[in-house]
């Protein structure tokens, strides 16, 4: 009973999540007493194939198909590979590109799909653990099927290390070009602006708990008093209250300041992806169950509208 | 041109809550229109306002209690709504993306839309998979996590931006008909006007059973079974400052000064 892990790359780089999938895949394959296969589709497949040959990988399948990700190509190729190898589980990343092809692969193969897994277990058939309600609760899902597809949340498993002795082979997929009805015409970096939040030693970061745009004045006052820079979570950028270059998170910037003060931010996984590497994390939030407290070093479980003015006062603002 | 928008009512959980079996005790839950769907509805309504002859139809898989939420979408400019529900659905276990997509696909087969907009994910169970599953089932093209849409109806192409990780966007051309999963921030969703709310009351909200959309109870059988729901062990190692706001702010100020923070 083998496992197939599908790698991800973008603009010439193999993404870390690929190696995380190998770790999870090896654990699963051990449980199932089977082989771990890895696949990479498109890009510099030879170089990527070498990189995927980590300890515990039995075979790497390379598919020379275009430079960049295209979901129509991926869906066809991964479905063909799965039909050829018949793995018990197809593992794909729960990334933006993963979200763009994994559901189609599962549906085409008639396999049940569980997305955004944070843990896997095979004691009694496959059980997938995932989070609900913005990470406030966890749930387990039993998969009553011989074969399944699962997408894994990034950064939950360590990357696979070492060099393996996998066979690296080209897989000859047949691509029906008439079914490729989308084209990636380019990439664009967004942001610009005049603030570089990745450069700041101290970030005062504000979330939806601030409620109104006018209340942001208080946050800028605090940042002034502390000599800090203001950043924010996605809703503030979506609302147009802060410029895009101040967004922290998966689709914004990854920051690692000495001190990160999260004010009225719940700590959604896509936000945490951008700030968990900060030296000291302080969270101010009325909800003691907010997931931000799981990664905070210091916390105040109180109303920001009381705490922030008091803090400004402390610094003589 | 017809645009189908999937609209989900999501559960918003209070700060303090209790678990009841495989769900949250309903005393601690309020209902809301899924944030991502709010942007999808707005996008559809803007396309309608910018063009001639565009109809916007919402589709929801949900019980009668979701009608108030559906009316919110009608109040913001959708023309009519379809809600699918029956006893088989009420008794079903997990409504996974496959099941939901099958039901929406059955509605779409009947409605024959040119464009389907869904949210990227639902805020409560966050599968992030219903839209793309739907695209595959319908044989439509698709794109996930779209944060800009420029529709060229004559050419039959949607020029979209897919928002990737790390402030990078992929510019993508997608042939119509297509399913697009809409990301927050793509537009600025309007508040329903009083007039809109009044009008929504008289807009058509059709309720259909599985058999009325051409499916039978087998459609809700899923190999996925939810087996537990629990609060995760807190991984928190945070030092929590206690006391009044003045006291906690004082302690935080001391800490920040120790860390060398000061203007
Ligand atoms: C593909 C994708 C990419 C994404 N990328 C990003 C990203 O890059 N960055 C990002 O941030 N998000 C991103 N998100 C969105 C993310 O899922 C969350 O929706 C978002 O992070 C929530 O922001 P928030 O914490 O400010 O708001 P909420 O989750 O609404 O939290 C608000 C918090 O404020 C607290 N609060 C309310 N009132 C007060 C008060 N008076 N005092 C103190 N606390 C209070 C509440 O308890 C709550 O915890 C992405 C989502 C997707 C699907
Ligand atoms: N019960 C439902 N009724 C209508 N649309 C839904 C339903 N569940 C999910 N969707 C749509 O699919 C999107 C993604 O949901 P999910 O795959 O559950 O995260 C949502 O934003 C909705 O647009």
Domains of chain B plus CATH, in order, are 2-220 (3.40.50.620)
- Comparing alpha-carbon positions, the chain B residue that sits nearest to A305 is B245
Pocket of ligand 1 (CB under 6 A): A 96, 134, 207-209, 233-235, 247-252, 264-266, 268, 270-271, 274, 284-287, 290, 303-305; B 120-121, 145
Sign, CA dihedral A36-A41-A43-A46, equals positive
pLDDT (tens digit per residue) in A182-200: 999 999 998 767 899 999 9
pLDDT at B235: 76
Choose among A97, A250, A287: nearest Cβ to B15. Answer: A287
Exposed/middle/buried for B224, CB within 10 Å: 0-12, 13-18, 19+? buried
Question: How far B186 CA sits from the closest chain A CA (Å)?
Answer: 8
Ligand 2 centre to CA of B45 (Å) is: 19
How many CB atoms are located within 10 Å of the residue B234 CB?
A: 12
pLDDT (tens digit per residue) in B126-139: 999 999 999 999 99
Domains of chain A plus CATH, in order, are 3-179 (3.40.50.620), 197-316 (3.40.50.1220)
Asked whether the predicted pLDDT for residue A317 surpasses 70, the reply is no
Question: How far B207 CA sits from the closest chain A CA (Å)?
Answer: 27
pLDDT (tens digit per residue) in B218-240: 999 999 999 999 998 877 899 99
Tokens representing B108 are 């779409």
A259 with B137: Cβ contact below 8 A: no
Q: How far apart are CA A25 and CA A15, in angstroms?
A: 16
pLDDT at B59: 98
Chain A residues lying within 8 Å of B126, measured CB to CB: 115-116, 131-132
A226 with B262: Cβ contact below 8 A: yes
- Nearest 5°: the CA angle A247, B35, B28 is 110
- Ligand at minimal distance from the CA of B144 is 1
pLDDT at B141: 98
Each residue of A214-241: b (16+ CB within 10 Å) or e?
ebbebbebbbebbebbbbbbbbbbbeeb
Averaged pLDDT of chain B:
96
Averaged pLDDT of chain A:
96
Give the B window 159-218 contacts with A, CB below 8 Å. 161-175, 181, 184-185, 188
Asked whether the predicted pLDDT for residue A287 surpasses 80, the reply is yes
Asked whether the predicted pLDDT for residue A210 surpasses 80, the reply is yes
Q: Residue length, chain A?
A: 317
Q: How confident is the model at residue A124 (pLDDT cuts 50, 70, 90)?
A: confident
A136 with B248: Cβ contact below 8 A: no
Ligand 2 centre to CA of B19 (Å) is: 23
The predicted complex's ipTM stands at 0.97
DSSP string, A180-192: --EEEEEEEE---
Asked whether the predicted pLDDT for residue A316 surpasses 90, the reply is no
Q: How far apart are CA B135 and CA B163, in angstroms?
A: 19
Q: How confident is the model at residue B163 (pLDDT cuts 50, 70, 90)?
A: very high
Chain B residues lying within 8 Å of A101, measured CB to CB: 132
């Amino acid at each position: 009973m083998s496992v197939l892990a599908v790698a991800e790359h973008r603009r010439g780089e193999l993404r870390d999540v690929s190696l995380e999938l190998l770790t999870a895949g090896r654990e699963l394959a051990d449980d199932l007493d089977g082989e771990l296969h890895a696949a990479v589709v498109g890009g510099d497949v030879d170089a990527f194939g070498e990189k995927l040959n980590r300890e515990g990988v039995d075979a790497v399948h390379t598919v020379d198909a275009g430079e960049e990700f295209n979901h129509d190509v991926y869906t066809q190729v991964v479905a063909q590979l799965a039909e050829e190898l018949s793995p018990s589980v197809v593992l794909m990343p729960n990334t933006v590109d993963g979200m763009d092809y994994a559901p189609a692969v599962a549906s085409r193969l008639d396999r049940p799909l569980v997305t955004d897994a944070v843990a896997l277990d095979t004691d009694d058939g496959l059980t997938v653990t995932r989070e609900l309600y913005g990470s406030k609760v966890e749930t387990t899902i039993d998969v009553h099927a011989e074969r399944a597809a699962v997408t894994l949340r990034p950064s939950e498993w360590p990357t696979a290390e070492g060099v393996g002795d996998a066979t690296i082979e080209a897989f000859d997929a047949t691509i029906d070009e008439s079914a490729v009805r989308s084209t990636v015409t380019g990439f664009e970096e967004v942001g610009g602006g005049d603030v570089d939040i990745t450069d700041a030693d101290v970030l005062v970061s504000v979330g939806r708990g601030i409620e109104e745009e006018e209340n942001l004045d208080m946050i800028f006052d605090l940042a002034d008093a502390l000599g800090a820079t203001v950043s924010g979570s996605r809703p503030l950028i979506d609302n147009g209250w802060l410029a895009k270059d101040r967004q922290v998170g998966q689709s914004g910037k990854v920051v690692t300041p000495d001190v990160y003060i999260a004010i009225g931010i719940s700590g959604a996984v896509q936000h945490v992806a951008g700030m968990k590497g900060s030296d000291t994390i302080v969270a101010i939030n009325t909800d003691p169950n907010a997931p931000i407290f799981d990664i905070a070093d210091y916390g105040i479980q109180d109303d920001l509208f009381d705490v922030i003015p008091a803090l400004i006062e402390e610094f003589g603002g | 041109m017809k645009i189908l928008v999937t609209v989900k009512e999501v559960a918003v959980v209070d700060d303090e809550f209790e678990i009841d079996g495989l769900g949250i005790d309903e005393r601690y839950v309020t209902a809301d229109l899924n944030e991502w769907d709010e942007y999808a509805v707005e996008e559809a309504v803007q396309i309608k306002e910018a063009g001639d002859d565009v109809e916007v139809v919402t589709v929801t898989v949900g019980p009668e209690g979701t009608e108030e939420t559906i009316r919110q979408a009608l109040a913001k400019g959708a023309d009519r709504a379809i809600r699918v529900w029956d006893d088989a659905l009420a008794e079903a276990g997990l409504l996974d993306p496959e099941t939901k997509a099958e039901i929406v696909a059955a509605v779409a087969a009947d409605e024959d839309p040119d464009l389907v907009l869904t949210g990227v994910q639902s805020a409560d169970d966050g599968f992030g998979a219903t839209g793309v599953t739907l695209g595959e089932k319908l044989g439509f093209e698709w794109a996930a996590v779209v944060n800009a849409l420029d529709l060229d109806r004559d050419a039959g192409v949607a020029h979209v931006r897919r928002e990737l990780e790390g402030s990078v966007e992929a510019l993508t051309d997608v042939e119509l008909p297509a399913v697009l999963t809409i990301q927050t921030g793509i537009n600025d969703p309007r508040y329903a006007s009083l007039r809109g709310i009044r009008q929504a009351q008289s807009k058509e909200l059709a309720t259909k059973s599985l058999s009325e959309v051409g499916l039978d109870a087998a459609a809700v059988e899923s190999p996925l079974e939810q087996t537990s729901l629990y609060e995760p062990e807190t991984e928190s190692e945070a030092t929590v400052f206690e006391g009044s706001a003045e006291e906690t702010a004082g302690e935080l100020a001391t800490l920040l000064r120790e860390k060398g923070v000061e203007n």
